Structure 1
Amino acid sequence: MSPDSRRDEKPEHYVNPKGFDPQDVETLTKEQERYYQAAQWKIIWWKFRKHKLAVVSVVVLFFFYLCVPFAEIIAPYPVAKRNVDFLYAPPQSIHLFHEGRLVGPFVYGITPSVDLENLRWVYETDRTDVQKLRFFCEGEPYQFWGLFPASFHIICPAEEGTLFIAGTDRLGRDQYSGLVYGARLSLTIGLVGVTISMVLGVLLGGMAGFFGGWIDSSVQRVIEVMRSLPELPLWMALSAALPITWSPVWIYFGLTVILGLLDWPGLARAVRSKLLSLREEEYAKAATLMGAKPSRVIVKHLLPGFTSHLVASATLSVPAMILGETALSFLNLGLRRPAVSWGVLLNEAQNIAVVTIYPWLMAPVIPIIVVVLAFNFMGDGLRDAADPYK
């Protein structure tokens, strides 16, 4: 018997299913094989890339978070630098052409005067004073991260010139430099607060969902009590209780703890409901029967099943904490000078009469809106990518 005929011969016990033709078996393409063999995180990334708005939001947030480690280098002035000759100076526009001739990036000089009739500062633009900007230059000295002296900046004003991209406040402090420095506190306070919230939410929600019984009832009652309290007044009450003698660093950590402690109930409830369903799965019961401790079952077997959901939930919680810090600092119950955040900068805009005359004091509203929207869009993209039914 030839090898070919021996290969085609069927064993005696072989039964061909009714209507089954081996030629009808579908062969997977390389793209399909790559998809079915991919890890969960890789599939989430492929689905996330299709959400164009979420991808753009990631890029926007990346550039915002660059201000956190390099604020001193990006800002043209130190945050406490006072330009006493330019109080309430308006934003200076950056130009490229002067009288039809390409000059490069520059600003026109401004001359201050006082309007005694309306009691306001007035600035006139001097079209003959062309002040070319300098890039990657030596400028105002500063302490980088408070550790060592430096004076390198990405952008600097001309020698004996000014550069107020977003204007100045009542003490002549550059608003743009304040926005760059403020990103350091406003953006990190959301991340630190969410970390505290996630630890508490996963711990308490995991215990309630896995063990049930009186533990579940106790955690649920605590969640219901905390969810029934008005959020903003509670923030205000706890922030007002912080000692006024504390340094800005301690006030910062106090605010992050307050925001984290008040945000965990929603996440804990989501973790509880997920664990209630996952603990009944066969792989979870098998791990328990093999003698695995509850902590190992939760951490090694149950949490990985919805880690992507936790990441999406945390992403959507960050903007709420940024807005919380902004509201408290705006009401003078959060961070205070010399600490600088976007809420602290908005504190200058409490007087509506001042805002009417000097509208650039509302500049911190712009990055707050952009960052909050970017986090929301990115959270939507992560939630859709992590959804196994989409």
Structure 2
Amino acid sequence: MKDKRSFIKEVLGHPLGALSSFILLILYLTAFLAPFLAPYEPSDQDLKRTYHPPTKIYWKDGRLQVARYRNVDPTSASYKEIPGECSPLKWFIHGYSYRFMGIIPADIHLFGVDKPDRVYLLGSDSTGRDVFSRLVYGSQVSLSIGVIGVSLTLVLGLLIGGLSGYYGGWFDNVVMRLTEFLMAVPGLYLLLALRGVFGVKFSSAQVYFLIVIILSFIGWSGFARVIRGLVLSLRSQTFIDAAVVLGQSSLRILLKHLLPNLASYLLVSAALSIPGYILGEAALSFLGLGIQEPSASWGLMLAQAQDMKVFMLNFWWLLTPGVAILITVVAFNMLGDVLRDLVDPKFRLHQAKRG
């Protein structure tokens, strides 16, 4: 436990480690509290407020107020603020019903305004849906796919690569030829081919699990190949021979003796691989093969923002999912770099010399 605490302390003591950990903590807290943070349901439409710009919030009469707008030109979605008219921003307001953590019924939301007014922190889309609400709900899909997909990939890579390196022989030859085949096929084409085989007539939940399985299937081969090499180097060590002499099973040796020695590699690889899974989901959804309406994901929101009208009329708020993807990918890459430096013996030796 002491080692784990000291390692976490080292990560948080590194400037980039602390920054990336803080950003990821905020992102995953946002995903976890999405129903509470979102003032509207992601599918809640208002056709009278299409392409509404972000609403101004200012201080007036001792409280925060939300400006009211009038659509002066529906053809170009041009809105003008109505001078002197506003609606008070309320905290912990009752709104649409949801189940917190999928279990607890609730209808309390962090902020909102009384109907028929609406507050658009990040504007609205082509059907008047709140972009902020869809963004926080989309984070549940995009962020969880990365964690779940990498977890499945690590389990598959560890078991298959570990057994391949430990046993060798015909099993090792078959596994390595399979991994070489998967690694030789371009990942994007394989991703599209596998998704196309299953068609598009699935519910959002089914598509979610299908994407996780496809991404895990594509990613396990690289992990398995590296883990096989690490196990081959560890298999000849004295402590492994001692475990064999004591009559321990192969699975026990793999989990009890080999896995702890692979933990540092698995941790770094997981942090560096999660962005690939997030981008994979975004690519599928962007191409119309991923998450479908009425659900929301960052990739789906970007696909809906590729209309020329968005660029011609400068509806910049519809591109915020791309910013969210960029921030997430950069944060995971920074954290992975910090973890790699901390588990690298050369880095630790350099730090010890400086100390």
TM-score normalised to structure 2 length: 0.92
2:288 pairs with 1:332:
yes
More helix by share: 2
Counterpart pick for 2:324 among 358, 367, 373:
367
Aligned to 1:288, the other structure's residue is in SS state: helix
Query: Structure 1 338/147 Cα, relative in aligned 2: closer, same or farther at 3 Å?
Result: farther
2:22 is aligned to 59
* Partner residue of 1:350 out of 303, 306, 331: 306
- In structure 2, C-alpha distance between the alignment counterparts of 1:325 and 1:92, rounded to whole Å: 30
Q: Is 2:70 the counterpart of 1:107?
A: no
In structure 2, how many angstroms separate the alpha carbons of the residues matched to 1:237 and 1:373? 28
Q: Distance in 2 between matches of 1:144 and 1:84?
A: 28
Larger radius of gyration: 1
* Rounded Cα–Cα distance in structure 1 between residues aligned with 2:76 and 2:8: 54
CA distance in 2, matches of 1:285, 1:54: 38
Counterpart of 1:139 in structure 2 is 95
Provide the secondary structure at the position in 2 that maps to 1:57. Answer: helix
Q: Structure 1 291/58 Cα, relative in aligned 2: closer, same or farther at 3 Å?
A: same
Comparing 322-331 with 292-301, greater Cα deviation is found at 292-301
1:194 Cα deviation (Å)? 0.8
Partner residue of 1:69 out of 32, 35, 38: 32
User: Following superposition, which runs of at least 4 residues in structure 1 exceed 6 angstroms of deviation?
Assistant: none
Q: Contact 2:138 / 2:296 at 8 angstroms: preserved in 1?
A: yes
Aligned to 1:239: 195
SS of 2:21's equivalent in the other structure is: helix
Instruction: Give the match for residue 389 of structure 1.
Output: 346
1:209 to 154, 159, 165: 165
- Stretches of structure 2 that go unaligned for 5 or more consecutive residues are 348-355
The SS at the match of 1:250 is helix
The RMSD of aligned alpha carbons is: 1.9
Question: Separation in 1 of the partners of 2:67 and 2:117?
Answer: 9
* 2:1 corresponds to 1:45: no
What secondary structure, in the 3-state scheme, does the structure 1 residue paired with 2:77 have? strand
The structure 2 residue matched to 1:83, chosen from 31, 46, 51, is 46
Please state whether the residue corresponding to 2:124 is helix, strand or coil.
coil
- Distance in 1 between residues matched to 2:292 and 2:170, nearest whole Å: 43
- Superposed CA offset, 1:142-183 (max 9, x none): 455665653210011245422101111111000000001101
Report percent identity of matched pairs.
36
Report how far residue 184 of structure 1 moved: 0.8
Instruction: Assess if the C-alpha contact under 8 Å between 1:48 and 1:384 holds in 2.
Output: no
Aligned equivalents of 2:47, 2:187: Cα separation in 1? 41
- 2:200/2:289 contact within 8 Å kept: no
When normalised by structure 1's length, the TM-score is: 0.84
Q: Which runs of structure 2 are paired with 1:184-333 in the superposition (5 Å)? A: 184-333=140-289
**Contact 1:44 1:386 (8 Å CA) reproduced:** no
1:141 Cα offset (Å) = 3.8
Gaps of 5+ in 1: 1-37
Contact 2:89–2:113 (CA<8 Å) still a contact in 1? yes
- The verdict on how the C-alpha distance between 1:149 and 1:306 changes in structure 2, with shifts beyond 3 A counting, is closer
Shift of 1:110: 0.8
Aligned-partner SS, 1:138? strand
Q: Which amino acid aligns with 1:235?
A: L
